[in-house]
Amino acid sequence: MNKNHNHKFDIKGWHLAILYPLTILSIVGSLVLLTINIDSNWVDIASYIVFCIAALSLGLSIYTFVKFGPTIAKNIEKWLRKNAFIDRLFAHYDFRTIVFNTINFIINIGYVVFNAIIGIVSKSVWYGSLAAYYLILTIMRGVIVMYHGKNALLKIKRPEEYESMSDKQVELRLYRLNGVLLILLPIALSFVILDMVQNGSAFVKWGWTVFGFAAIAFYKVIASIVQIIKSRKKSEDYTIYGLRNIGFAAALVTILSLQTSLLHSFGSTDFNSAYANAATGAGVCAVTAIMGAIMIIGSSKKIKLLNIEEKEHQNTNEQ
């Protein structure tokens, strides 16, 4: 009597525990074998074997990522959300935005101190201008982080001049303040651009690292645009909008950094890269200033409308 048995191969955890280290080792081995120069048949045979293992294991690893990735990510998220703080990060978009911008705020302070020290020691306009640029970014992020609370976690008591204002009024005023600072940001950046034209200064990234920096720069710009769109859908807090606009302005400067690095590394001697950098820098300054102006005009109009609505509401209650 013949019986048909369907045997289905299921990938187990221990399979992955073997597969992933094997993939990493075979890829590293392939790179090592590509760099060594030994004329031997045994080395050639070993190279083909390692290359085949690397190709097969990498293909299978990618398949497992696609197949099990969502489940693994869900399980990791479930495990992480057992912590109250992390659960709040996942659940609340505004809170998550403030926490990550607090980290950026601390990093910006480091940039300010670093560039200021180098600028003072070397008497460099370049580093002094960068220190001023990061100082403005630090103030922009800092006023919003401080508004949302000590360590970006707990609400703090408002200043006396804000006591009579609603939350929306305070948010709009902070949003407008950031618009003003966005207009000031190109002033600091203009000194950097001037130094590029006069002295040929550049954001230097050595060797092939410039391509890694290029990937980061484009990611920052795309991610900042996505976050601006997402903030409009997920939040009604104008301070969150302000933080996203700050992120976009900072991302634009990375494009200028990228261009100067590329021209410094691969530019032709016949091409005047200083003026190309100046043109891109002027474009970045213009976009930043326009964004700041839009924030100022838009918030001022909304503040006036909000004041009118609150007065009408107050008069209605008095009647």
CA distance 251 to 222: 9
Q: Specify which of 182-191, 221-230, 265-274 reaches the highest per-range mean pLDDT.
A: 221-230
The sign of the dihedral angle between the CA atoms of 202, 203, 208, 213 is negative
Mark whether 122 and 268 lie in a shared domain. yes
- Tens digits of residue pLDDT in 228-283: 998 988 888 888 999 999 999 988 888 887 887 777 667 655 556 777 888 888 89
What is the reported pLDDT for 163? 53
Does residue 8 fall inside a structural domain? no
Kindly report the average pLDDT of the chain as a whole number: 80
> Quick one: 45 and 118 in the same domain?
no
HSE of 76 in the Cβ direction (CA atoms, 13 Å)? 6
In this structure, are 75 and 188 located in the same domain?
Answer: no
Q: Would residue 83 be called left, alpha or beta, if left means φ above 0 and alpha means ψ between -120 and 50 degrees?
A: beta
Q: How confident is the model at residue 292 (pLDDT cuts 50, 70, 90)?
A: very high
Mean pLDDT of the 160-188 span = 81
Asked if 241 contacts 265 with a C-beta cutoff of 8 angstroms, the reply is no
Q: Rounded to an integer, what distance in angstroms lies between the CA atom of residue 142 and that of residue 161?
A: 19
**115 shares a domain with 43:** no
* % residues pLDDT > 90 (the chain): 14
Of residues 300 and 30, which shows the higher confidence score? 300
* Helix 167-199, helix 238-266: angle, nearest 10: 10
Number of domains, the chain: 2
Q: What is the pLDDT, as a whole number, of residue 319? A: 64
Task: State mean pLDDT over 273-294.
Answer: 87
Question: CA-CA distance, 216 to 261, in Å (whole number)?
Answer: 13
Task: Please tell me whether residues 166 and 199 are part of one structural domain.
Answer: yes
Asked whether residue 30 is domain-assigned, the answer is: yes
The percentage of residues in the chain with a pLDDT greater than 70, rounded to a whole number, is 83
Read off the pLDDT of residues 113-156 as tens digits, 9 standing for 90 and up: 988 998 899 888 778 888 888 899 899 998 888 888 753 444 44
Considering the domain architecture, whether residues 125 and 224 belong to the same structural domain is answered as yes
Most confident of 25-29, 159-163, 167-171, 206-210: 25-29
Residue 6 has what pLDDT?
Answer: 52
What is the dihedral sign for C-alpha 40, 41, 42, 45? positive
Whether residues 70 and 185 fall in one domain = no
> Is the pLDDT reported for residue 167 higher than 80?
no
On whether both 19 and 156 belong to a single domain, the answer is no
- Segment 72-99, tens digit of pLDDT: 778 888 888 888 888 888 888 888 888 8
The per-residue b/e assignment along 196-225, b for 16 or more CB within 10 angstroms, e otherwise, is beeeebbbebeeeebeebbeebeebbeebe
Q: Identify whether residues 54 and 98 lie together within a single domain.
A: no
pLDDT value of residue 89: 81
pLDDT of residue 301: 92
Residue 177: is its pLDDT beyond 60? yes
Say yes or no: 197 and 302 in one domain.
Answer: yes
Higher pLDDT, 51 or 198: 51
Report yes or no on 268 lying in a domain.
yes
Q: In the prediction, which pLDDT does 248 show?
A: 92
Q: Does residue 102 share a domain with residue 186? A: yes
Structural domain contains residue 87:
no
> Do 64 and 187 fall into the same domain?
no
Mean pLDDT calculated for residue range 211-224: 84
Query: Where is average pLDDT lowest: 62-71, 172-181, 307-316?
Result: 307-316
pTM confidence score: 0.69
Torsion-angle region of 66 (φ positive above 0: left; ψ -120 to 50: alpha; else: beta): alpha
Residue 305 has what DSSP assignment? H
Domain boundary among 22, 57, 80: 80
- The last residue of one of the domains, among 54, 80, 106, is 80
pLDDT (average), residues 45-61: 87
**Domain containing residue 205:** 93-318
Decide which of 33, 49, 80 is a domain's last residue: 80
